[in-house]
Amino acid sequence: MELGLAIGLIVGLSILFLLVGGITAFFVTKKIFEKQLRENPPINESMIRVMFNQMGVKASEARIKQVMRSMQNAK
């Protein structure tokens, strides 16, 4: 009976540790992802307008849409 108990204990603890490790990895990954999004927000149309204004170029709406499309296609 001791062998069965040992095997059951090993299997049970292995499953428990896998679950705890998976849950921990999920929350750590989520925290890192949110931090990266805060530090490097995705580019939107207003950022492109500001970029064109800083370069001294008056961008049309079509040009801004074209830049957005090209950035979406590059991903």
Domain boundaries, the chain: 1-41, 43-75
Torsion of CA 63, 65, 67, 72, to 10 degrees: -170
What pTM was estimated for this model as a whole?
0.62
DSSP assignments along 20-42, one per residue: HHHHHHHHHHHHHHHHHHHHSPP
- 34-70: per-residue pLDDT in tens? 999 999 888 889 999 999 999 998 889 999 999 999 9
pLDDT of residue 1: 64
The rounded mean pLDDT for the chain is 92
Report, as an integer, the average pLDDT of 11-21.
Answer: 98
Helices (H) and strands (E) in the chain, counts: 3, 0
